[in-house]
Amino acid sequence: MDARGHRYERPLERMRAYLDAMDAAPWQGPPLEEDPAEARRIGREYVAFYLTLPNYARAWERAGFGPEELGNGGSDRLVDAMVAWGSPEAIADRAQAHLDAGADHVCLQVLDADPNALPVGAWRALAPAVAGR
């Protein structure tokens, strides 16, 4: 045990045990959202904070988004550009488009209708679509 009372465990083995326990958990989250209005509502909740930051606003304006697209939670076009939504395959295609354009990695953050929820069901739905890409 270390000074904080924790027992050291090998990180990879500990992570595997954690993921196995998550797989065995009875709770399942909702599927990935495919309704455009609901997907954009969820996306807007996430993007809202970034819309308050001048450096993000300037970057989005340089990327071709006008000031009118940055107000009121962001235009549909802005939200659609920032948040991939739809079927797992559609999301995987969006991630692949970044790789095809030259990205050396893509990080996916799964958003849930409940921002405090753990999106286990969405992770499970998305994993097969992005694995091996």
What is the tens place of the pLDDT at every residue in 46-87? Answer: 999 999 999 999 999 999 999 999 999 999 999 999 999 999
What is the tens place of the pLDDT at every residue in 31-51? Answer: 588 899 999 999 999 999 999
Q: Domains of the chain: which residue ranges?
A: 32-130
pTM: 0.69
What is the tens place of the pLDDT at every residue in 113-123? Answer: 888 888 888 89
- Percentages (nearest 5) of helix, strand, coil residues in the chain: 55, 0, 45
Per the CB < 8 A criterion, the answer to whether 94 and 84 are in contact is yes
Q: What are the tokens at 46?
A: 């996430």
pLDDT in the model for residue 44: 94
